[in-house]
Structure 1
Amino acid sequence: MKEITLTTDRLVDTLLDCIRKSSTIYIVTAFAMKSGAALLKPALREAAERGADIKFLAGDYLYVTQPEALRELASIHENMEVRLWRSSGISFHPKAYLFEYPNGSHSIIGSSNLSKSALTHGVEWNVGVREDEEKQLFDEASRKFIGLFYADHSITLNLETVKRYENDYMQFHKEHPNLAKKWSIQEEEELMLPDDGPDEPGTVVHEEQESYTLLAPRFAQIEALKQLHTTVEEGYRKAMVVMATGLGKTYLAGFFAKNFKRVLFIAHLEEILHQSAASFLKVLPGRTAGIYNGREKNPDAELLFASIQTLSMKRHLEVFDPKQFDLIVVDEFHHAAAASYQKVLDYFTPAFLLGITATPDRSDNRDVYAICEGNVAYHIDFLEAIQKTWLSPFQYYGIFDETDYSKITWRGTQYDQDELTAAQLRTEQAEHIFKAWQTHRKTRTLVFCSSIRQADFLSASFKEKGFRTVSLHSKQKQVNRKAAARDLADGNLDAIFIVDLFNEGVDIPSVDTLLFVRPTESLTIFTQQIGRGLRLHPDKEHCVIIDLIGNYRNADVKLSLFDTTVPAGAKERIIQPVLPETCSIDLDIQVINLLKELTKKRQPRRERLLANYEMVKEEIGRRPTYLELHLHGEITANEYRAESYFNFLNWAGELTEEEQQVLLHHENWLKELERTGMNKSYKMIVLAAMLERGPDNWYKPVTAREIAPFFHRYLTSQDYRKRIDFSDGQSKKLWEYNEGKTAALIERMPMRKWSGSSTHELVCFKDGKFSFQADGSNPVLFQWTKEICEYRLHQYFERKSSE
């Protein structure tokens, strides 16, 4: 049964009643005011204390949301999730209050933002829909909400992110004082959406998958399976496989799943769920497969394929026992750093977690390595796959784009859409693009565009010249996407102009030309899009890649996808990359000159380190440890080692007066730890054993026999690939624990060698006793020493496993 009501005043009364009885509370408002947060705070705290699933999302559009409101909301309860939508200047106007309780749901959607006036006496219209058993509106609205809540545009609110927002808020209102006055008087006012709003995320077109004639591993899958089985034998519980698009990652996961009874496969696109289920059943025909998303729910299937948007909701997540699945596979693992994935992965405790991806670029997906503890079981990029003839070769043409992107406003994550579109929708630009395409193209082209308007404009321009084209995007209702993909594959279309489609989970093997007419803002997306043209096909000798390169941000970074290794003694990065023999790259001379200039103008080193540090600090809400900086940063913590991480923190103004004094007196000791050579892990294992004795005793003399049990236990651990240092001919003899032999190794290797190489004689080995010449009783120094030890051990084994 449904009941529909219209509320035009005192919405707060309805909200408070719903909050008091609901187990699920999802709220999204464009703007949040302190007055509104204060109205709901007591009821929300009470709901959080009884275990309700509470999520609140506010927007930063025009910096109307008050920082005080965000602090108020974030302080209500640790179990309440509060996030902020970073709009980058694009309108953000939803207002919805969604509640679910034991015998029904209540969805309220209308005009009221979170403010006292909007919830009490303001002129507002809100439609409420109560549903009993079939909660269609609530379920659909919840899915949409979760998609927004965990989107890349939203960030978790903590002390650091609120502080950053407050600085931006103050700066904006300083530059727009009249707007600030207007909002302070009226508290909030509706703003109209522009005619051309942001592109809606659309469904993805899929071509029929080519079936395997023999359902057995092939090519890279054989190598990857071998490495995965070795990983399991070594005691790992998590791993990532990086395989270029087109090498069969989903089938690989299916072959690996043979050894596990209950399997959960997680994807972020619903179309991938059905496609992946079909692939798994070809490999495991005797199993039962089920879908778990907003429309289908088959929780008891042996092979369960779940949408992350649905699974991340508390009420759906708690349908399952945390130990219910033996294997969890995360598709497109580069998305797994998102909060929605983290919530799911933190809940389950499978025997093994496998992440599969083609694009784990660190700058875009820094947290992915942390999720699998740095364990990359197998890695093959598209260049190596081309070298092995497993993917199609390519001919890359870098065409100079005269558009001056320096005059287009950068909105934090992308260029201002209106300004970018105005620069792109020029007849002379369309002619330039057409000429480049006509010169280099083959038969079937995908064109990657920035916006719907650009895709429509260029498609129409090409059509006027007699070519068969369509534009596909979220607002295209006249063209069937699957039919368009089939027409392109069959040669009935020359080109498809697309916007944010065909990036993942889509295969048209016959595509032989890729045309890029958009700035490259993400290496991950650029790699995915290149993969659309590299699948093998009988009618394709190679793929042509036509790329317009202008002075946009990070234009010089995209060539890092190719082999740009700098030879010893070289003063600058090579602009002409080294490629497989079957491939070629041809850059306009203007492009070569542009890339050299952009490389010279890269952000100064310290500023780059500071930006990376501040990003990680905001993400975790406090000053990161050495290891956290390494795992969550866009760049590795190794780059901080040249001057010492703690010297950097001092330069950045992040140390207290007490910490500054510790740094002044113990700088040499910290540098000793950060820079001492490590051909083996032994030095840091000895230090880790000594740190186990606590802050008052860690630096005091110790014998090798005292260290021996910890040392042996650590290097024969099942948790990490620590055993690699016990694999050479000499140390293999130490697998069976013998205190005397292990102690002799410790004395000979880490203790004597470290003592002999210490630059400031801070490490001492005398009369069979090993110690550090430092006033280690200081708790700050103890903590910093522990951080360095933890980081260096992790970084050492991460490096060794990649080798």
Structure 2
Amino acid sequence: MQNIKFVTGNLRKELTGLMNDASSIYILTSFIMKSGVSLLAPFLKEAVDRGAEVRICTGDYLFVTQPDALEMLLEINPKIEIQLYRSNGRSFHPKAYLFQNEDGDGSFIVGSSNLSNSALTSGVEWNLMINNEVDQEVYQEALDAFIKTFHHEQTITINKETLKDYRNEYENYHERHPDLLRQWTKSEEEVLTLPILIEQPEIIKESPVVYGQLTPRQAQKEALEMLSTTLEEGYSKAMVVMATGLGKTYLAGFFAQDFKRILFVAHREEILGQARNSFRNIMPERSMGLYYGKEKEGEADCVFASIYTLGIHRHLASFDPNDFDLIIVDEFHHAAAGSYQKVINYFRPKFLLGITATPDRMDGKDVYAICEGNVAYQLHFIEAIQKQWLAPFHYYGVYDDTDYSQITWLGTRYDEEELTLIQLRDEMADKVLEAWRAHKQTRTIAFCSSIRQANFLSNYFNRKGYRTVSLNSKTVGITRGEAIQRLDMGTIDIIFTVDLFNEGVDIPSVDTLLFVRPTESLTVFTQQVGRGLRLFAGKDHCVIIDLIGNYRNADIKLQLFNTEPAEVKNGKKAAIPSVPSGCELNIELAAVNLLDELNRKRQPRKDKIFGDYIELKKELGRRPTYLELHLQGRSNSREYKQEFKSYAGFLYWADDLTNEEKKAFVDNEDWLVEVESTGMAKSYKMVVLDYMLSRGANNWLNPVTPKDVAPYFHYYLTEKEYRKRIDFSDKASIQLWEFDEQKVGKLIANMPMTKWSGSSKGLTEFKEGIFAIRIDLPVSHNEIVYEWTRQICEYRLHEHFERKEENLKLLV
């Protein structure tokens, strides 16, 4: 094969030739047509079937990408990963094809050809095909650029659910622009010649911050003690939730000293460099290696790897699953993502440690399953302030009269263009300036919605005589390290930024935070607040200046500061929270009135949990199971039962059942509600039901005896230490730790079978030593009711032990 080849026609021949022996195939095109997918589908299918990794990223610019084309890709093989770049009207026009084989050899093609028939066969196209032997560095840059675009925050994963949304948007757009659709339908393969403008975050490396005395702080000591107990109890996984500013990375480093080889995984390359420096300070005798981009030091004692690089099949396969004794996942709240799951499931370490300041759900349930229900240590920033391990805050809520209800909500954020239009006004900037002047201290970080807003406000403040910089991925003339140093020295007043300071950056001297953006993510808001709470000489408190408008989460976010988060009547919380001693909450009267109004008008709970359900369904690409709803959903899973008596009842209300499922639900609602609501001081009822379900859909309703259930029952409750500790350690059952069929059978007969039979209104029966479920199921409903029962049982067992474990920790 030529090292460099100029291709002006029949690119399909070159692509299919490279696909034949590729172990990794990455395609990035501005749009995809059905005709292009049809050409490559057989070759993509063959590649995935033999184990190749296939990732495809395309864009929605002008809605040229056909929904049918995306559906065709989904149907080839579910292992093909597809991302759609949400351009929001901005031009998106890359065309690139990258290939690698098992030997590490690779080629990439860049040029003018999108994924369409004419572009790959007969069209006038110019493409350059380059073998990686020509320039390994350029090839690696192309690969890194693809990975960053594929995982860009503006991309969404294409699955059956998100495709429905895109299809609706596509059809609505072309209803408004019918000429464009006719043009594409007629020629289908015309190539738009618009400029490429992909925003890629700049990777900025900064000098490490010297930690000082290398002994654990008090919070780290407590966490290390709990982790030590976790190891003694035989756990192989754990999560630590520790507020920003308490030294999570150093905690991980101290913990890692007792392990031989360590893998530290993070999603930002700068975090990897900082973590390596921290570990080196603790363990100078160990070798430290980075694994991302151009640096592949995978043989070191401690390897610090980018999740995106490690997620590439070729790189992951270069390690043996048993290579590492300890794996540490930084910012563990990301761990539910597919890229993390791929890495976590590949390795077999002696221990997996997840560290985070902000689980996606404030109670951490989204990652509970990943760490086997073991949250070894939790210390949120409110508790850390109360312990005087973080600085107190003085919060100033400033009324913002912007009407955010008129701005398009895109599911997780406001439309950037519409939001920017209302933010780039002098009167808005003047209000921000006055609020800052009234409450500021010495060093400020201001969090903005967009680069344009950051630049606008920085220029406005500079014109008013203040010294500010806008620091973002497009900034030239000053690095992040220089900006931090100047802020620390007091030679500038404010750094305006978008998201560069969310995770992994320490600036202890910052004493003022300015929020000039609507709060779209509570996780991000918590991370940003943490940037100002580190203790620092001469810093008594951190000032938080926050614009409060009628945007989503405006009232909810204040609960992050609450020392008493208990709910009040009707499931609502007071709009104004109670804050820790030494902290202040100062909110303008107009903002107080707005918060009260938002609290009163908060969407009904049914609508909210329905919206959260739909968001999770889109993320998964299918209907979530009951346990997935609990672990990953944004609403508390109990709310579904409270409102609809059962998860199946919610699905019936939401009109998300087939006609046969609807009939099965109506006919068997009493049984499903019984399984959902039967009392569970212990897990015993559900363990018996779990045994019955384990026999399969055809046999689950067959009656059982205590003797039948006994071996399964005993094994289930003694298999996991936490189950035995919670539900099998009282006086009545501790003698049964060694299996005795007769004694265990007697316990089962007396406890779950007799009690459930007496409380189930005839739906279960225990008579003459036989336990039975008394429901009549036609053959057409059996599979449906079996699956719903299985999901409820799975959910209730998990939730029972999760809740009991948390209660035990509170008592310690």
What is the TM-score normalised by the length of structure 2?
A: 0.93
- Partner of 2:796 in structure 1? 792
SS at structure 2 position matched to 1:70: helix
Decide whether aligned partners of structure 1 residues 28 and 133 sit closer, same or farther in structure 2, where only a CA change above 3 A counts: same
Q: Does 1:715 align with 2:717?
A: yes
Mapping for residues 50-69 of structure 1, pairs under 5 Å: 50-69=50-69
The residue aligned with 2:476 is 477
| Distance verdict in 2 for CA 1:486–1:328, change over 3 Å | same
Q: Is 2:447 the partner of 1:448?
A: yes
Q: Is the 8 A contact 1:140 1:294 kept in 2?
A: yes
Instruction: Quote the residue 1:170 is aligned against.
Output: 171
Which residue number corresponds to residue 746 of structure 1?
748
CA distance in 2, matches of 1:497, 1:555: 21
Distance 1:208 1:21 in 2: 43
Aligned to 2:708: 706
Offset, 1:622: 3.0
Alpha-carbon distance change, 695 to 114 in structure 1, aligned in 2, over 3 angstroms: closer
Task: Check the 8 A contact 2:289/2:296 in 1, yes or no.
Answer: yes
Deviation at 1:722, TM superposition (A): 5.1
Q: How many Å apart are 1:78 and its aligned residue?
A: 4.3
Aligned counterparts of 2:208 and 2:47: Cα–Cα separation in 1: 48
Task: Return 564-573 or 455-464, whichever deviates more.
Answer: 564-573
Q: Which shifted more, 199-208 or 600-609?
A: 199-208
Letter in 1 for 2:674: E
RMSD over aligned CA atoms reads 2.5
- Tell me the residue number matched to 2:124: 123
What's 1:670 paired with?
A: 672
Alpha-carbon distance between aligned partners in 1 of 2:709 and 2:50, rounded to the nearest angstrom: 48
1:641 is paired with a residue whose SS is helix
Give the structure 2 partner of residue 227 of structure 1.
Answer: 226
User: How much does 1:302 deviate?
Assistant: 1.8
Deviation, 1:29, is: 0.7
Name the count of aligned residue pairs: 799
| Cα separation, 2, equivalents of 1:144 and 1:719 | 46
Letter in 2 for 1:677: G
Distance 1:272 1:46 in 2: 38
2:72 paired residue number:
72
- Distance, in Å, in 1 between the alignment partners of 2:123 and 2:496 is 46
1:345-424 matched pairs, under 5 angstroms: 345-362=344-361, 367-424=366-423
Q: Distance in 2 between matches of 1:359 and 1:350?
A: 24
The CA deviation at 1:203 is 3.1
**1:388 deviation in Å?**
0.5
Give the C-alpha shift of residue 764 in structure 1.
Answer: 2.3
Residue of structure 2 in register with 1:690 after alignment: 692
- Alpha-carbon separation, structure 1, partners of 2:681 and 2:768: 25
Q: Are the equivalent residues in 2 in contact too, given 1:204–1:506 (CA < 8 A)?
A: no
- Tell me which of 179, 192, 195 is aligned to 2:194: 192
AA at the equivalent of 2:503 = E
- Quick one: structure 1 residues 19 and 234, their matched pair in 2 at CA, closer, same or farther if it must change by over 3 Å? same
- Secondary structure (helix, strand or coil) at the match of 2:539 reads coil
Quick one: distance in 2 between partners of 1:782 and 1:562?
44
1:384–1:728: structure 2 CA closer, same or farther, 3 Å change rule? farther
Shift of 1:172: 2.4
Does 1:112 find its partner at 2:113?
Answer: yes
C-alpha separation in 1, matches of 2:490 and 2:727: 56
Note if contact 2:394-2:584 (Cα within 8 Å) is conserved in structure 1.
Answer: yes
Cα distance in 2 for residues equivalent to 1:405 and 1:186: 41
**TM superposition shift of 1:34:** 0.5
Compared CA separation, residues 637 and 90, structure 1 to 2 (3 A): farther
Which secondary structure state, in structure 2, belongs to the residue aligned with residue 555 of structure 1?
A: coil
Q: Is the 1:335–1:365 Cα contact (8 Å) retained in structure 2? A: no
The aligned residue for residue 610 of structure 1 is: 610
After TM superposition, give the deviation of residue 720 of structure 1 in Å.
5.3
CA 1:596 to 1:176, structure 2 compared with 1: closer, same or farther past 3 Å? farther
1:82 shift after superposition: 2.7
The answer to whether the 8 A contact 1:207-1:485 is kept is: no
Deviates more, 1:227-236 or 1:109-118: 227-236
Asked if 1:801 corresponds to 2:805, the answer is yes
Kindly, what percent of the aligned residue pairs are identical?
Answer: 55
Give the direction of change, closer, same or farther, for the CA distance of 1:620–1:419 in structure 2 (3 Å limit): closer
**Paired residue type of 1:651:** W
SS of the equivalent of 1:279 reads helix
Q: Distance in 2 between matches of 1:789 and 1:54?
A: 37
By how many angstroms is 1:56 displaced? 1.3
Q: Residue by residue, what CA displacement relative to the aligned partner does 1:228-282 show, whole Å, maximum 9, x if unpaired?
A: 2333333333222111001111111122223322211111111211211222233
* 1-structure distance, mates of 2:510, 2:480: 15
Checking the alignment, whether the CA contact within 8 Å between 2:3 and 2:134 is kept in structure 1 is no
**Distance (Å, rounded) in 2 between the aligned partners of 1:150 and 1:348:** 22
Partner Cα separation in structure 1 for residue 567 and residue 35 of structure 2: 61
Equivalent residue for 1:653, pick from 652, 655, 659? 655
Query: Which residue of 1 is the match for residue 511 of structure 2?
Result: 512
Partner SS, residue 124 of structure 2: coil
Structure 1 partner of 2:311: 312
Is 1:137 the counterpart of 2:138? The answer is: yes
Partner of 1:763 in structure 2?
A: 764
Partner secondary structure for residue 72 of structure 1: helix
**Where does the alignment leave 5 or more consecutive residues of structure 1 unmatched?**
none
1:264 matched residue in structure 2? 263
The one-letter amino acid of 1:284's match is: M
Which amino acid in 1 is paired with 2:121? T
- The answer to whether the 8 A contact 1:685-1:711 is kept is yes
Q: CA offsets, 1:357-403, max 9 Å, x none?
A: 10113289975344334432221110000000110100001101122
Shift of 1:588: 1.2
Who is 1:331 aligned against?
A: 330
Kindly provide the CA deviation profile for residues 300-351 of structure 1, in whole angstroms up to 9, marking residues without a partner as x. 2121111112111111111011222121111111222333222222222222
Partner SS, residue 303 of structure 2: strand
Letter in 2 for 1:324: D
Equivalents in 2 of 1:514, 1:51: separation in Å? 49
Q: Distance in 1 between matches of 2:584 and 2:298?
A: 49
Question: What secondary structure, in the 3-state scheme, does the structure 1 residue paired with 2:28 have?
Answer: strand
Tell me, in whole angstroms, the C-alpha distance in 1 between the residues paired with 2:487 and 2:363. 31
The Cα offsets for residues 122-168 of structure 1, whole Å up to 9 and x where unpaired, read as 33332332231752222111112122223343333333333332233
- Structure 1 CA distance for aligned equivalents of residues 356 and 386 of structure 2: 20
1:701/1:130 Cα in 2 relative to 1: closer, same or farther (>3 Å)? closer
- Cα distance in 1 for partners of 2:309, 2:506 equals 26
Distance in 2 of aligned mates of 1:429 and 1:78: 48
Counterpart CA distance in 2 for 1:422 and 1:130 is: 45
Match of 1:462 in 2: 461
**1:227-246 to 2 correspondence within 5 Å?**
227-246=226-245
**Which segments of 5 or more consecutive residues in structure 2 lack a partner in the other structure?**
808-812
Contact 2:208/2:274 (8 A) holds in 1:
no
Deviation, structure 1 residue 714: 1.3
* Residue in structure 1 matched with residue 160 of structure 2 by the alignment: 159
Matched with 2:810 is: none
Distance in 2 separating the partners of 1:280 and 1:520: 34
The answer to whether the Cα contact below 8 Å between 1:364 and 1:523 also exists between their aligned partners in 2 is: no
- For 1:345 and 1:755, locate their aligned partners in 2 and report how far apart those are by CA, in whole Å: 43
Does the CA-based 8 Å contact 2:92-2:198 persist in structure 1?
no
Distance 1:80 1:454, change over 3 A: closer
Given that 1:205 and 1:502 are in contact with CA atoms closer than 8 Å, whether structure 2 keeps it comes out as no
AA aligned opposite 2:147: I
Aligned twin of 1:773:
774
8 Å CA contact 2:240–2:378 kept in 1: the answer is yes
SS at match of 1:556: coil
Deviations 1:396-449, CA, capped at 9 Å, x for gaps: 011011222223333443323233222112121111111111111111111111
How much does 1:591 deviate?
Answer: 1.2
CA distance in 2, matches of 1:55, 1:348: 22
Aligned equivalents of 1:397 and 1:279: distance in 2? 35
In 2, Cα distance between equivalents of 1:664 and 1:699: 19
Which amino acid in structure 1 is aligned with residue 763 of structure 2? L
